């Protein structure tokens, strides 16, 4: 990968005499470190806006700019930023801006169907492992061939969503009509090719809009990009022609990989822009209305596979066709779950706050379950308890964000640490019994925990979805407390 600049290299250009503590930052070096991690920005420090620091700030921007530029389109809280990556593979550092997913509509749809799709996409939301999974953009295609129809469709979409919009046409007149109509929404113009780059480029520059350069020939794509950049455009995206089919899909993957390699490993500035992939090309030449159900599902499945491959390559935005109806939610669930897994920072364990959490109407007679503060453990356990309508207490032990089995093996989840957590969170102020239920994968600490916590310890199931059955069979407070007392005599 392109060598990452060190904080010391940046620090030497940082103007002196700034009190960073008033911004909640310990020092100038801490600010530089946070700047590299993109937790803060230059704009956060008022003193750096002073014109006398312009030269130093320009140098800092140069040093901290990633080899792949970031592009933002849309406005407001749902503005979408893509690109801005520094590495080929997430394990080398992390990916900073997750792949955006856009679904397409077109200007020949009847108004009711189009607005229903727009409403569905705008409000679409899945909660998984404590995170909301949403769509990032709507791609509006011009299939009418009429600038006025495209313009009116763009106006309707823009009036009914706060999502960023991608305007999709290769005709400059169609693009101009729609772009001028919704320019205040900062749409992404898709696309400039070898025939129209001059007209689309001039329009993008005049309106201050980002634009996609398109060609399946990489030399030609770089040439178009150079022409757009030379014309003063900075917010450019690249589509190298992602097509589906025997042999063609391999070429598409190779082109995406070559662009990313040129930008992130070779530092080529003309390749250093976000990459757009279009799994919707799976539908080219296919008549959806004429398909039987089996054929339709096969094509949708092909699109899902293609989208997953492009997502795994860290293609920065995908434009898909399937998923804009409630009956196609399977497509989005799979794709967005894959994205969620890929865009977890590999440098840190995903953790939640430790503590004693009431579930439902927990009271003194409710069972007490113990788990770790690994996010992918705590949240599913909590969700399973809630879904089963179990009133319980959940003790979340600080295991440094490590799951049960690994934390037991690594010493982060021991009898002593569980006992300390019980004491810290004053479990006996909440419960009328001394019964603790630990995860099945931590069975080996049960005996020691009974001594450390002065409690009756039950070894629960390995899968939290089995908790209701476990309670039906094992949860008898009086009998368990009688057993506790007998063992203490």
168 CB-contact burial (10 Å; exposed 0-12 / middle 13-18 / buried 19+):
buried
Residue 488 pLDDT class (50, 70, 90 cuts): confident
Summarised one tens digit per residue, pLDDT across range 294-307 is 999 999 999 999 99
pLDDT tens digits, residue range 336-390? Answer: 999 998 998 887 778 899 999 999 999 999 999 999 999 989 999 999 999 999 9
Domain extent at residue 271 = 70-342
Over residues 442-452, mean pLDDT: 96
Q: What is the pLDDT of residue 91?
A: 84
Q: Render 456-488 in DSSP notation, one character per residue.
A: EEEE--SSGGGHHHHHHHH--HHHHHHHHHHHH
Structural domain total, the chain: 3
What pLDDT score was predicted for residue 376?
87
> Which residue is associated with the tokens 């090719």?
193
The yes-or-no verdict on residue 399 having pLDDT over 90 is yes
Whether residue 64 is predicted with pLDDT greater than 70 in this model: the reply is: yes
pLDDT in tens, 378-391: 999 999 999 999 99
* Rounded CA separation 87/263 (Å): 9
pLDDT digits (tens, 9 = 90+) for 306-321: 999 999 999 999 999 9
The pLDDT-based confidence of 2 (bands split at 50, 70, 90) is low
Q: Are strands 392-397 and 456-459 parallel, antiparallel or unpaired?
A: unpaired
Tell me, yes or no, whether 229 lies in a domain: yes
Q: The domain spanning residue 433 has which CATH number?
A: 3.40.50.11600
Residue with structure tokens 């368990």?
A: 480
Say if residue 424 is preceded by a cis peptide, omega within 30 of 0. Answer: no
Whether the per-residue pLDDT at 454 is higher than 70: the answer is yes
Q: Is residue 347 part of a domain?
A: no
Query: Tell me, what's the pLDDT at 4?
Result: 76
**Is residue 393 assigned to a domain?**
yes
Examine the domain organization and report whether 27 and 74 are in the same domain.
Answer: no
Give the whole-angstrom CA distance, residue 108 versus residue 105: 9
Backbone angles phi, psi at 276, to 5 degrees: -105, 135
Looking at the fold, whether 29 and 104 belong to one and the same domain comes out as: no
Distance CA 252, CA 276 (A): 12
Question: Which DSSP category does 164 fall into?
Answer: -
Q: Which two tokens stand for residue 45?
A: 């420090």
pLDDT band at 6 (very low <50, low <70, confident <90, very high): confident
- Are residues 78 and 23 part of one domain? no
Same domain, 130 and 229: yes
The arithmetic mean of pLDDT across residues 112-123, rounded, is 97
Q: Say whether both 232 and 336 belong to one domain.
A: yes
Across all residues in the chain, what is the average pLDDT? 94
Q: Is 349 exposed, middle or buried (0-12, 13-18, 19+ CB in 10 A)?
A: middle
Domain containing residue 247: CATH number: 3.20.20.20
3-state secondary structure of 421: helix
């Amino acid at each position: 990968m392109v060598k990452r600049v060190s904080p010391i290299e940046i620090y030497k250009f940082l103007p002196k005499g700034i009190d960073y503590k008033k911004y909640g930052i310990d020092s100038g070096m801490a600010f530089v470190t946070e700047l590299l991690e993109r937790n803060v920005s230059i704009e956060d420090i008022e003193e750096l806006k002073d014109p006398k620091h312009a030269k130093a700030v320009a140098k800092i921007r140069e040093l901290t700019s990633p080899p792949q530029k970031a592009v933002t389109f849309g406005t407001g809280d749902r503005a979408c930023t893509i690109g801005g990556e520094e590495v080929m593979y997430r394990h080398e550092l992390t990916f900073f801006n997750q792949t955006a997913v856009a679904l397409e509509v077109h200007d020949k749809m009847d108004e009711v169907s189009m607005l229903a799709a727009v409403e569905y996409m705008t409000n679409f939301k899945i909660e998984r492992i404590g995170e909301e999974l949403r769509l990032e953009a709507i791609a509006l295609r011009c299939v009418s061939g009429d600038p006025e129809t495209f313009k009116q469709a763009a106006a309707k979409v823009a009036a009914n969503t706060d999502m960023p919009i991608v305007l999709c046409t290769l005709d400059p007149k169609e693009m101009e009509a729609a772009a001028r109509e919704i320019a205040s929404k900062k749409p992404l113009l898709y696309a400039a090719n070898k025939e129209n780059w001059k007209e689309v480029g001039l329009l993008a520059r005049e309106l201050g809009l980002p634009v996609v350069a398109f060609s399946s020939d990489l030399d030609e794509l770089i040439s178009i990009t150079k022409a757009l950049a030379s014309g003063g455009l900075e917010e450019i995206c690249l589509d190298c022609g992602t097509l589906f089919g025997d042999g063609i899909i391999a070429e598409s993957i190779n082109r995406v990989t070559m662009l990313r390699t040129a930008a992130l490993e070779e530092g080529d500035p003309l390749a250093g822009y976000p990459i757009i992939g279009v799994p919707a090309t799976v539908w080219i030449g296919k008549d959806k209305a004429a398909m039987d159900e089996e054929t339709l599902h096969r094509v949708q499945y092909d699109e899902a596979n293609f989208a997953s491959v492009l997502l795994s390559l860290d293609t920065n935005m995908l434009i898909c066709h399937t998923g804009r109806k409630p009956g196609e939610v399977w497509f989005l669930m799979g794709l967005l779950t894959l994205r969620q897994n890929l865009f977890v920072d590999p440098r840190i364990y995903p953790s939640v706050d430790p503590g004693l959490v009431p579930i439902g109407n927990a009271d003194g007679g409710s069972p007490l379950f113990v788990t770790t503060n690994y996010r992918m453990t705590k949240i599913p356990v909590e969700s399973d308890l809630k879904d089963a309508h179990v009133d319980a207490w959940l003790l979340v032990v600080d295991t440094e964000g490590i799951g049960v089995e690994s934390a037991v093996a690594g010493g982060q989840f021991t009898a002593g640490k569980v006992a300390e957590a019980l004491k810290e969170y004053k479990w006996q102020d909440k419960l009328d019994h001394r019964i603790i239920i630990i995860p099945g994968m931590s069975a080996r600490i049960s005996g020691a925990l009974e001594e450390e916590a002065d409690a009756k310890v039950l070894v629960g199931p390995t899968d939290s979805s089995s908790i209701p059955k476990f309670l039906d069979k094992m949860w008898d407070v009086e009998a368990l407390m009688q057993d506790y007392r007998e063992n203490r005599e």
